[in-house]
Amino acid sequence: MGNLTKPLGWLLLAGMLLLSAAASAEVADAKPFAEKKVVLQISDEDASKQTLVLNVASNLIKYYGPDKVDVEIVAFGPGLRLLFAENSNAGPVPVRTPPAK
């Protein structure tokens, strides 16, 4: 029975890798013409840190131009509060959700 678990484990790993590669290939490129692509992350609920990340994104767009840069902000953990309606920074944040499968 022990001999069966190794090949099964490798098969499951290979399947997971194939599925993750297919899932990442489905994500549409919002700005395929962008010369620069930048991802910023926020994981803090502190409004001043959220403002800082938004200012960095805004400065990148102003510097390179809206047609030359694709800026994505990824929020997780307490940083998700940036997306709440009652957040003081929520107004200037456009939310883009992944396409439905």
pLDDT at 36: 87
Domain segments of the chain: what residues? 28-83
Question: By C-alpha distance, which of 56, 46, 59 is closest to 89?
Answer: 46
pLDDT digits (tens, 9 = 90+) for 6-55: 666 666 666 666 665 544 444 456 667 788 889 999 898 888 888 899 88
Q: How far is CA 28 from CA 25, 49, 75, 96, in A?
A: 8, 29, 19, 11
User: pLDDT of 56-94, one tens digit each?
Assistant: 998 999 999 888 888 888 888 888 887 777 777 766 555
Give pLDDT, residue 84.
77
* Confidence (pLDDT) at 40: 92
